[in-house]
Amino acid sequence: MTEINCAALKKQILLSGKREQFILQEELCIRLYCLGTVSLTCEWILGIHDATAGEIADAYYNSLPAPLHRYLL
């Protein structure tokens, strides 16, 4: 699942026309963000977190790594 999310995020950034390739820091941030969001989603689905879908979406938005802001926000 994480690999699918990482590939989709990289594709979205590349399609934005702002990048042709990634520097190491960006690659690591993409990986970290995808690992975190997949893990949180699984915990939420399992009922570990009593949060609404909107609260989860806000958490994703607020945790986006700074090096990715210029491409996704």
Specify the residue for token string 């949060």.
Answer: 51
22: Cβ–Cβ under 8 A, 6 or more apart, which residues?
Answer: 10, 13, 30
Which range marks the domain in which residue 62 is found? 2-72
Q: Give per-residue pLDDT as tens, 9-39.
A: 999 888 886 678 888 999 999 999 999 999 9
Q: How confident is the model at residue 72 (pLDDT cuts 50, 70, 90)?
A: confident
Find, among 72, 69, 60, the residue nearest to 14 by Cα. 72
Give the chain's domain count.
1
Per-residue confidence (pLDDT) for residue 48, from 0 to 100: 96
